[in-house]
Structure 1
């Protein structure tokens, strides 16, 4: 590796790629170091059974203001603006309309009570109706949204996202992960499978140590997950303890996916949705034949995702298969077969799904986003004030951190008095 760059980016997910794009637009020399053998981070598309399936982020949330939409279309990716499957219930399910309406109303009431709770304990579980018949339904949906139980959710934080969301959810048929990984500028130097183990401040910038050696730059942008940042995998300069504490206040929740292949003709309507047992807090949300493909995608959050983390993929397949049989009948058991299951919580370089502020810790996002000594800058979905949990929030945060690094470098003259940004 060379030993001088304008900026070193640590982490090749959406935030790192966002930072690289902004630096490339300013003709700056950037090096991106990624611990894993691929780009994308929590955006990952894999070709499974001949279909590009998103194992991580999948939806262009708030699509009408999501920066990835313009990037996708400029790069030749199709953006599907039709309604997502969860807006269209599968017609073949026998369901109790009254129960479904009651469950949805209970969830809406819980969200309304969060406003009161935010001014007090800020603990989302305090908005649950004591002894409420639909509390398990609320717990399941809180798991989808935040990856954790209501006891671990800041009401203030939850509402910040909910208020900012435009509820326009679009899709990239070739895969969100494909889009993210394809968006790194060719001018950015890239080193995959190169985990960073230490970052030190120097007189003129930073020194970033890896197993392949030490590389130097005027600044570094750290985009790793809060699970990694709060841990001890990367040794940071003295004085960064508050940043680690902020990361610990924004832990990653649990969200996993299980994919099944529809192996023969079955009465599954394309681009439809089903929800499992309304009274089971582990229930999955089922996307049925997305894009018309012979696939069922089960999305699990919180306690449901814990099944995969603690018991493994076989237990996850068994659980969702049993729910599908309960929804569609016993013939489903012979109509579908397991295809793949995710394990985000078990990945050392990531450690979970997306961040959720603990009660009374919503301000940790702003604290984590602060620069350190105008040398070290922080990005990632967890640093966004309201678009956390999203790939566009990560992208925007990477651009923000890159702008901060550019401004800091303009104010000083690293590399022996040469100002690398004088022409910017």
Structure 2
């Protein structure tokens, strides 16, 4: 595969696909290398028995301005605009209205106090009131939102996302991952199963070594996750150490899903939701019969996601225990383990999505800067306000593609 090209994209997730789409619109044909055997990255839809289950991103967050909404509509994908059942506890099971109101009020007060946290600390846990009985509830919520507890969250980072996001959250019945993977331009030269081993600077070009050969490109758009970039899987020159350091300040949180199939005569209602144990920071968030599908989707974040380290069966057992505690032991006969994720255990990914450590929110802007008009960085971790989302990843891919296209054009002009 030794060849000289203008544009190389490393990674075919939402950012890489966004970059490829942009270069295609500019008349360029990039080579896209993807280490996995499929495209989409953390946007992956698992198909089983007619079900489309999103392992990664599943909601069009800030949907009214989310670029994937327009892409979906242009491609003929159905978009479901129903309001999510989050925030409602089905039949108040295990979460009486008085407790629900108290927990919600505690969460709101914590969010307000974030504005008063000292910039020198920038630690979201500083906004917790000592001994507040709902601190674990708040930690569970930050686990869902950021993949970590408030002790590891930058206030500036959290507020940047919160201020930019909206309350519109829509879904794609065919699967978010299905849309993302279907959106790579057919003109892109895609090579799956090709892992990048080393990046070197080679004169005016960048040499990228893989198990299938070496590619020399005028512009490389690097879209791997922050965990991969900060790790040692890809050897890089010392000149790129500042980018590695920036990525290390944006570690991926823990976000996992467990899916249970509903069988038999279960009395579950469509589009309902429960929290397993509102007073535990390691509890699950259960979406029941999403879009009418015979499934319970359990979302685990932060401390709760660690249960999957012991394998999928541990996740099934955990979810079944929480659900039977709410619905009664008989519910177990109506639920069958289906599948589960373990993003944190995948070397090609390394976690859910990025969260800036306290005092490190500026690392996003640093990571987004190009190196020497030859290496360009994209991915959700490089977004200042839309990190942790597929639309944030896409938009950074577009930004990097514009930067790369302009740089190559300038090289040609001076040739």
The answer as to 2:354 corresponding to 1:342 is: no
1:209 matched residue in structure 2: 209
Query: In the superposition, relative to structure 1, how do residues 118 and 406 fare at CA in structure 2: closer, same or farther (>3 Å)?
Result: farther
Report the TM-score when normalising by structure 1.
0.96
Query: In the superposition, relative to structure 1, how do residues 101 and 358 fare at CA in structure 2: closer, same or farther (>3 Å)?
Result: same
1:118–1:155 contact (8 Å) kept in structure 2: no
The answer as to 2:394 corresponding to 1:395 is: yes
CA distance in 2, matches of 1:232, 1:94: 45
1:156 matched residue in structure 2: 156
1:204–1:413 contact (8 Å) kept in structure 2: no
1:54 matched residue in structure 2: 54
2:294 matched residue in structure 1: 294
Q: Output aligned runs, 1:22-61, within 5 Å.
A: 22-61=22-61
The answer as to 2:136 corresponding to 1:128 is: no
How far residue 202 of structure 1 moved from its aligned partner, in angstroms, is 2.2
Query: In the superposition, relative to structure 1, how do residues 149 and 87 fare at CA in structure 2: closer, same or farther (>3 Å)?
Result: closer
Report the TM-score when normalising by structure 2.
0.98
**Helix, strand or coil at the partner of 1:200:** strand
2:409 matched residue in structure 1: 410
2:357 matched residue in structure 1: 358
Q: Output aligned runs, 1:109-120, within 5 Å.
A: 109-117=109-117, 119-120=119-120
1:383 matched residue in structure 2: 382
Q: Output aligned runs, 1:60-209, within 5 Å.
A: 60-86=60-86, 88-91=88-91, 93=93, 95-117=95-117, 119-209=119-209
Q: Output aligned runs, 1:263-278, within 5 Å.
A: 263-278=263-278
2:94–2:277 contact (8 Å) kept in structure 1: no
1:35–1:192 contact (8 Å) kept in structure 2: yes
How far residue 155 of structure 1 moved from its aligned partner, in angstroms, is 0.7
How far residue 413 of structure 1 moved from its aligned partner, in angstroms, is 2.5
Query: In the superposition, relative to structure 1, how do residues 118 and 19 fare at CA in structure 2: closer, same or farther (>3 Å)?
Result: farther
**Helix, strand or coil at the partner of 2:396:** helix
How far residue 60 of structure 1 moved from its aligned partner, in angstroms, is 0.3
Between 220-229 and 268-277, the greater mean CA deviation after superposition: 268-277
**Helix, strand or coil at the partner of 1:273:** strand
2:2–2:213 contact (8 Å) kept in structure 1: no
Structure 1 stretches of 5 or more lacking a match? 418-424
How far residue 326 of structure 1 moved from its aligned partner, in angstroms, is 1.2
Question: How many residue pairs are counted as aligned between the two chains?
Answer: 415
1:3 matched residue in structure 2: 3
1:85–1:290 contact (8 Å) kept in structure 2: no
